[in-house]
Each structure stands twice: as C-alpha cells, then as structure tokens.
Structure 1
Amino acid sequence: MSYDLMVFIPEAAPQTPAAFQAWYHAQTEWTEGHTYDDPAITAPALRAWLVEMRQTFPDLNGDEATGDNDYETDYSIGCVVIYAAFSWSLATEALETVLRLAQKHQVGVFDPSFEANTILLPADGTMHPLPAVPPPQAQKKPWWKVW
C-alpha cells in the first residue's frame, strides 16, 4: 500500500470541493495522450517542485532506481498535476516535504489517502484549505443607488 499525494497548478483546478473531486478523478484517468514519466510536459512550477522532491524521494522508475530504497517514489506526471505514490512508512516525512516544497513553488496539494481528502492551496506564503463554499463575490451597486 502506498501513501499518495497529488500536487497541481491551482489555476487549473476547480475551486469547490465537489468540482475538485470530479476533476481529480478525470486527471487520474491518465488520458492526456503522452507518457506520464516526462517532466518536460508539465508546468514549470510543477517541474521545479519535482526536481527538489527527487533530491529526497528519487524516482522509482528513474535511471538510478535500485528498487530497494524506501525513499524511491512512483511519480505520474501530467500537464497540470503530478501524482506521487510514497512508501507508507514514510508518509509523515513525505507530507512534510511535499507541503514545504508546494508552498515554495506555489502549487496546490491534494491528499486522497484519507477520508478528509484535504485540498490545500498556496496563499499569503502559507498553505490554506480549499473553502467548502467559495467566498461570495462583492456586489457593487450602481453609483446612483447609495442606500
């Protein structure tokens, strides 16, 4: 069993939990028409995140993979998402590293491994949960309606 996390480009993802879940399931159908092991196809922020992640969690399918290193991680690379499957024994360390680098590179994080299905977005230098309901848009009154 693996501990799975997905990072994504926030602007590409829906901003409500229900729509996000549907989008997540569509993304993980892996139907983009390319292999899912080429960092060149993903967004620059995700590529930068991946370069740093691989320093601690090397690619299980990479050139230097040994198959006997618990830190080796299976990455599936899409255009606007990267799905990472970590060794369950490293779940805490993986989550801490993913969050730190997601904040640094301003990408979102989704944790499908638990019932809460936490969706975190970068804002104001930290990671914040996606609100259950998007904030209402301020309605402007015409200038002639002052009351």
Structure 2
Amino acid sequence: MSYDLMVFDPTVAPKERKDFMKWYAQQTEWEEDHSYQDNEVSTEGLQAWFKDMIEYFPPMNGPLASEDDDNPKVTDHCVGKHVIYSAFSWSVAEEAYPKMRELSIKHSIGFFDASADNGEILFPSSAVELEVTKPWWKFW
C-alpha cells in the first residue's frame, strides 16, 4: 500500500466535493489512450510541476526513471492529461505532502490528498487563503 496524492488541472476538475470525487474516480480508471509514464501528455502546468517534483521524488518508471532502487523517495507517478497521481512510500509521507502541495501552489494547479478520508482538495484560488507552512497532519 502506498501514500497517494494527486495534482490536477483546475480548469477541468469539478469544484464541488461530490462531483470532484466522481471525476477523480473516472481519472483513476486510467483509460486514456497514451502511456501513463510520459509527462508530455499533460498540461503545461502539470508538466512544470512534474519537472520540479522529480527533483525531490524521482520517477520509478518512464523515460526519466531513477536507477536508484533503494531510494525510498523514488515514486510511482502516473501521468494523465489532466492529473498526475503520485504513489509514495509511507516512509516519506511527511515530506511528500508539503512538497507536493507547495509545488502545486507554485504552478497554479490543484492538489488532492487521495490517501485521507475526506482529503484536502485545493484549487489555486483557495491556496492563497491557507497557511502553507502548517504541518500536513493539521489540515484535517
């Protein structure tokens, strides 16, 4: 089992939780007609986020895959057209959550805590209202 977080294109994701969760379920069926290991299929914002994120949490698979199999930060990033779903080792959860959230704000994309019951859904317009330095475990 992994610690899962997702970033998304806020222009296509529903803003109401119930609708968002339906959309999320559709996105994670992985039915798009492309490889889910190539960040080039995503929007510009998601691609920019990915390039920053892999400096901290290198990809497990795909053209930019890390060769360091022993590094717990190596992460399974599944790249869709409108989402990037990242499955982390639980040992790096306390570092992954704030970094992923911080970079989503930097790149004006959405953020979703897929591992939490009733996890945080953050859209760029609401990001400025929240204190980014607050520890991740205090958000719910």
Q: TM-score, normalised by structure 2?
A: 0.86
How many equivalent pairs are there? 128
Residues 1:3 and 2:3 are matched in the alignment:
yes
Q: How does 1:39-50 map to 2 (within 5 A)?
A: 39-50=39-50
* Percent pairwise identity: 43
Shift of 1:66: 2.1
Compute the displacement of 1:42 (Å).
0.4
CA–CA distance in 1 between the matches of 2:94 and 2:81? Answer: 27
Q: Counterparts of 2:49 and 2:129 in 1: how far apart (Å)?
A: 15
Whole-Å Cα distance in 1 between the matches of residues 65 and 48 of structure 2? 19
- Evaluate the alpha carbon distance shift between residue 64 and residue 115 of structure 1 in structure 2; reply closer, same or farther with a 3 A threshold: closer
1:124 Cα offset (Å): 6.6
Q: Which structure has the highest strand share of the two?
A: 1
- Tell me how far 1:2 sits from its aligned partner: 1.0
Q: Which residue of 1 aligns with 2:119?
A: 117
Q: Which residue of structure 1 lines up, in the alignment, with residue 73 of structure 2?
A: 71
Counterparts of 1:67 and 1:127, CA distance in 2: 39
Residue 96 (1) aligns with residue 113 (2): no
* 8 Å contact kept, 1:58–1:71: yes
Aligned partners of 2:71 and 2:95: how far apart in 1? 15
Q: Which has the larger radius of gyration?
A: 1
Partner of 1:136: none
Distance 1:67 1:104, change over 3 A: same
Rounded to whole Å, the distance in 2 between the matches of 1:127 and 1:73 is 29
AA aligned opposite 2:38 = D
